[in-house]
Structure 1
Amino acid sequence: MKFVLLFNIALLIFRILYVLYYPMDLTPEEAQYWDWSRHLDLSYYSKPPMVAYLNYFSSSILGHTELAVRIVPILLSFALTLFTYFFAKRLFDERVGIISATLPQMSVGFSINSILMTTDAPFIFFWALSLIVLWFSVEYGKTIHWILLGILSGFAFLSKYTAVFLLPLGIFYTFLYRKELFKEKKPYLSIAIAFLMSLPVLYWNYKHEFVSLKHVSTLATKGASTINPNHLLEFWGGQILLVSVIPFFFILKGWLFGWKEKALVFLTVFSLPVFVFFLIMAFVKRVEANWPGFAYFSGFLIASYYLSKSRLLYPTYLFSFCLFILLHFSPILDKIGFSKLVPPQKDPVKIGIGWEALGKEVSKLYRGDEIVLSPFYQISAELAFYVKGNPRTYCINLGRRMNQYDLWRDGMREYVGKDGIYVSYFPIDQRVLKGFDGIIDYRVFPVYWRGKKIREFHIYKLKSYNGNIEEEDMFQSY
């Protein structure tokens, strides 16, 4: 236990220092979720409200800073490792507990979710705690366990909609080992609590024509086609990299051969079906690597069990540590002559590069009363965070699917007659110019990472907004 605690305290300190001093700004998703926290609601267009609530809480304490946004995943990751240690020790032994509480922290997927404040950070935390409490609920059947399970699974649903996997998988596992529990009231009490906690989100969706359901269904079907080998290979590669390569094959071993041991069956039930679900989806459309990422909480416990008995344990730690270093400090590749392995244009870190500098550039034009807008929600969100004064920003529709900013459009009317600032990846569209009386200033702002230009922004100061930007129907695509 002492080693686990010291190891994760060291990681906690490292992550705080990394956020404070490494030149990676908030990613667009982080900035968007932070912006949600300035407009508290029962739910939001694409996600439930937990990420906004947590951002509101941390920002109330630490201000509108990068550390305020990212302290939540850092602390949740730290707490989860301790819960994981005790749970894995209870399922197996001390050695598996130590591996389960340390090795995942060096994996690519868990490292990302331990710093970036996306919906995955609170979701994986509450998903993992739900599984731990579910195991105790089925094993011992105490009322307090079932009540706690309902609360935690409710929090998981308030974090991300994929929490719905908990119900069918939980029913399946209970049926396997304790089907007599279905004759008692306690499991249904748990379900009732989780359902009651989800009602605000369901009500919000009812009031907004179920836009979240439409959005999720669009993500699941858009781009679907006949079997595409490239999508399938990309999915497999993404999953292998997510758990830092070697542990993935031990997870596969557990899925294939671990059906004789109860603890491994439990962990398999809450990982394999999730993987298979997204694997089937990957046959016909592109699946983002992080979508099945929550399955690897239990998946990593499986890998830890087998690695505890394998001579590959220490090589696995070494290889995972190397990936951990490269993930956090990718410029090292340039220093050692391996730039072509992950060029700057394909470096995942580039998504968080240049936004603060863009905010400073836009701040040179911003006087405090202009309407600030972009056709990309990513830019709108970043400008809201990094432009001086944290202005309210807007996202116009020049041909895109709907997003949260479309639900906040009413405020644009307040800016009629005032100047505007428009920022895009491309030169200004004539449809935007029709909404203003002309161009006051124009500049191109390039962003460089590892010595290469990774993107550029076109920044316009526009004269007198008249409210007549020619936009497309915002409800045409979810």
Structure 2
Amino acid sequence: MESTLSRPALVLSTRSALALLTLFLVGLTAYRLAVLLSLDLGLYGDEAYYFTWSWNPDWGYYSKPPMVAWLIAATTALAGNTAIGVKAASLVLYPATSLILFAVANRLYGPRTALVAGMAFATLPGIFFGSMVINTDVPLLFFWAAGLWFFLRALESGRYRHWLGVGAALGLGLLSKYTMVAFAASAALYLLAARPLRPHLARPGPYLAALTGFLLFLPNLLWNVGNGFISFLHTAEISQLDEALFHPDHLAAFLGAQFGVFGPVLMGVLAVLIAGRDGVYRREPERILLAFTVPLLAVIGLQSLLAEAHANWAAPIYLSGTILVVGWLLQRRPRLLAVGLAVNVLLGLSLYHYQDIARAMGVQEIPHRLDPRARIRGWDQLAAAVDRTRQRHPGARLLAADRFVLAELLFHLRPPPERYGFWNPGGDIDNHYALTTDIRGRWWADFLLVTGDAGAGKALAPYFEERRAVGTVTIRRSAEETDTYHFWILRGFRGYGAAGPGREKADR
């Protein structure tokens, strides 16, 4: 009788592996949609902010390129102006990104690794959370993955159509998030470092890709030229490199967050591989995957050390990093891989069902700092209170000085553009509403101000003929966190210059 140890391993064809992954992704997406529907989630502040961008499709916006707004415009046109409609692109593009990673991993390692890598990416804790949210990382990761696939094909074939694909992915990625520039840098560094591939740099292909990417990105560049390079300046400002340097605690927090986003086991293995374990820098395909992982992680890590960096700023490393870790572990430590995947799935499920889990453990209220949904609670209550107040004062235009407050109210109430505005007496352009909906010039108009500042009335006195407090509402975010908002009817706007000579410039 043949020993089980001598039996050949199950051979998985590309077609069957792709079919299995597709079924898995369809089921996972259906489950995520069901969770979204059952939770009846609203929008995070940034999501509502991007939603209002989508009302006026453009080539650029204050802080980001336009792709996220374009996606929301498309999905809400199909699925309606609901929270699900706003978030829908995440439910579609993340599975699509998994399928592209399957194609990349299949070329590098074969169908077995491709199947597991596609599943692993879809079940990363960061993707579990990201699939419930729309942000700029959704299209960025899709186009980064597409660029990686076209780059592999271009290196294999040298054909112009594949280099054009690289360029298209680069340009569309830049229209999604400026982080895509790191893709071009990684590709260039890899070609320079790999001696057998350097002849590509003497051929038209890479330059055709660069030109294609530039031409696709050019409209956003021209938009920035026409708006004082405002998106680029914002990107520079959030780096905070003009502040005190050297923050090892920020670096530790950033690296620790990667273990949460990528999963503790998989991130631990990735860290070992980045450190050079098993000679990974001396052989393919590990070397090309490291080329699209290490540079960006190093740059964002340095950023976190010198100032501060958010965990998702390194999000593209999860693409090549997933394939790298899965490929290495499948060959050497498959049981550890199984543990890592199981841990990630449990973490992801806990993100979706933490309230049910807490109640099952006898905890009825989640502390604010441990409640990821605290920031989206209560906006519907605020909007309902504002709507009731508007009905009592129908001539007053909606006004707010906080971009997230205004964004959430616009999502829930959807007044026409002439019926809302942004309060900005200082004249600083530090968000999209300050750029597009500042009320300067609307002399003698009446407004309904919604503010969290209890002392706003005194500060408003110079700007209006009449001001009157008309109510407050307190909304509950979590077990111990509430926010109180104050409503003011403001009549007869005198202009920002009414406060004195120092305001006249802002009023022009």
- Same fold, judged at TM 0.5 (above): yes
SS in 1 for 2:390: coil
2:425 counterpart of 1:408: no
User: Is 1:417 matched up with 2:445?
Assistant: yes
- Residue 31 (structure 1) shift: 0.6
Matched, 1:50 2:78: no
Q: Which residue of 1 aligns with 2:205?
A: 186
Is 282-291 or 432-441 further displaced after alignment?
Answer: 432-441
Partner SS, residue 43 of structure 1? coil
Give, in angstroms, the shift of residue 37 of structure 1: 0.8
Structure 2 residue corresponding to 1:27, chosen from 30, 34, 44: 44
In the alignment, the residues of structure 2 paired with residue 455 and residue 474 of structure 1 have an alpha-carbon distance, to the nearest angstrom, of: 37
TM-score normalised by the chain length of structure 2: 0.87
Comparing 226-235 with 293-302, greater Cα deviation is found at: 226-235
Q: Check whether the contact 1:48–1:159 (CA below 8 A) recurs between aligned residues.
A: yes
Q: In structure 2, do the counterparts of structure 1 residues 474 and 267 end up closer, same or farther at CA, with 3 Å as the change threshold?
A: farther
Alignment of 1:53-202 (within 5 A): 53-175=70-192, 176=194, 177-202=196-221
- Cα deviation for residue 168 of structure 1 reads 1.8
Distance 1:127 1:59 in 2: 24
Q: Which residue of 1 aligns with 2:482?
A: 455
Residues 306-326 of structure 1 show CA distances to partners (whole Å, capped at 9, x for unaligned) of 232322122222211221122
Q: CA RMSD in A?
A: 2.6
Aligned equivalents of 2:445, 2:30: Cα separation in 1: 49
Task: Supply the distance in 1 between the matched residues of 2:413 and 2:234 (Cα, whole angstroms).
Answer: 29
Match of 1:306 among 314, 318, 328: 328
Matched, 1:435 2:463: yes
SS in 1 for 2:354: coil
Partner of 1:383: 409
Instruction: Determine if contact 1:28/1:352 at 8 Å carries over to the other structure.
Output: yes
Q: 2:474 aligns with which of 431, 445, 449?
A: 445
CA contact (8 A) 1:434 1:468 kept: no
Q: Which amino acid aligns with 2:214?
A: F
3-state SS of 1:459 partner: strand
Q: Which residue of 2 aligns with 1:285?
A: 307
Q: Relative to structure 1, is the Cα distance of residues 473 and 114 closer, same or farther in structure 2, using a 3 angstrom cutoff? A: farther
Q: Distance in 1 between matches of 2:267 and 2:355?
A: 27
Query: Who is 1:357 aligned against?
Result: 381
Pick from 357, 371, 383 the counterpart of residue 347 of structure 1.
371
Q: 1:227 aligns with which of 236, 239, 246?
A: 246
| 8 Å contact kept, 2:471–2:488 | yes
Is this contact kept in 1: 2:446–2:490, CA < 8 A? yes
Change (3 A) 1:179 1:5: same
Question: Which residue identity is paired with 2:290?
Answer: T
One-letter code of the match for 1:447? Answer: R
The aligned runs of 1:205-224 (5 Å cut-off) are 205-221=224-240, 224=243
After the TM superposition, which of the residue ranges 20-29 and 194-203 deviates more from structure 2? 20-29
Q: Deviations over 1:108-139 (max 9, x none)?
A: 21223222111111111111111111111112
**So what's the TM-score if we normalise by structure 1?**
0.92
Task: Please tell me whether residue 240 in structure 1 is matched to residue 262 in structure 2.
Answer: no
Q: Equivalents in 1 of 2:173, 2:463: separation in Å? A: 43
Q: Distance in 2 between matches of 1:26 and 1:305?
A: 37
Structure 1 stretch displaced more, 11-20 or 146-155: 11-20
Match of 2:269 in 1: 250
Q: Secondary structure at the match of 1:366?
A: helix
**Shift in Å, 1:369:** 4.6
1:414, distance to aligned residue in structure 2 (A): 4.4
Counterpart code for 2:151: L
Taking structure 1 as reference, are residues 317 and 426 closer, same or farther at Cα in structure 2, changes over 3 Å only?
Answer: farther
In structure 1, the residue matched to 2:25 is 8
Residue 389 to residue 97, structure 1, CA distance change in 2 (3 Å): same
Residues 1:261 and 2:283 are matched in the alignment: yes
Aligned length: 474
* Structure 1 position 282, deviation (Å): 1.5
Separation in 2 of the partners of 1:326 and 1:51? 27
1:312 and 1:171 map into 2 onto residues whose CA distance is 34
Matched to 2:487, the amino acid is Y
One-letter amino acid of the structure 1 residue matched with residue 436 of structure 2 = W
- 1:464 maps to a residue whose letter is R
Could you say if the C-alpha distance between residues 414 and 21 of structure 1 is closer, same or farther in structure 2, counting changes exceeding 3 Å? farther
CA distance in 2, matches of 1:415, 1:365: 22
Q: 1:409 offset after TM fit, Å?
A: 3.1
Deviations for 1:269-293, whole angstroms, at most 9, x for unmatched residues? 0111111111111112121111111
Distance 1:447 1:459 in 2: 15
C-alpha spacing 1:369/1:80, structure 2 compared with 1 (3 Å):
farther
Q: 1:189, 1:337 → 2: CA distance?
A: 59
Q: Is the 8 A contact 1:397 1:473 kept in 2?
A: no
Report the AA paired with residue 129 of structure 1: A
Residue type of the alignment partner of 1:86: A
Name the CA distance, whole Å, in 2 between partners of 1:429 and 1:103. Answer: 54
Q: Distance in 2 between matches of 1:111 and 1:465?
A: 49
> How many Å apart are 1:4 and its aligned residue?
1.3
Other-structure match for 2:5: none
Residue range with higher mean Cα deviation, 318-327 or 268-277 = 318-327
Q: Which has the larger radius of gyration?
A: 2
Q: Which runs of 5+ in 1 are unaligned?
A: none
Distance 1:390 1:124, change over 3 A: farther
Q: Distance in 2 between matches of 1:299 and 1:474?
A: 54
The sequence identity of aligned pairs, in percent, is: 23
Unaligned ranges ≥5, structure 2: 1-16
**1:467 Cα deviation from its structure 2 partner:** 4.3
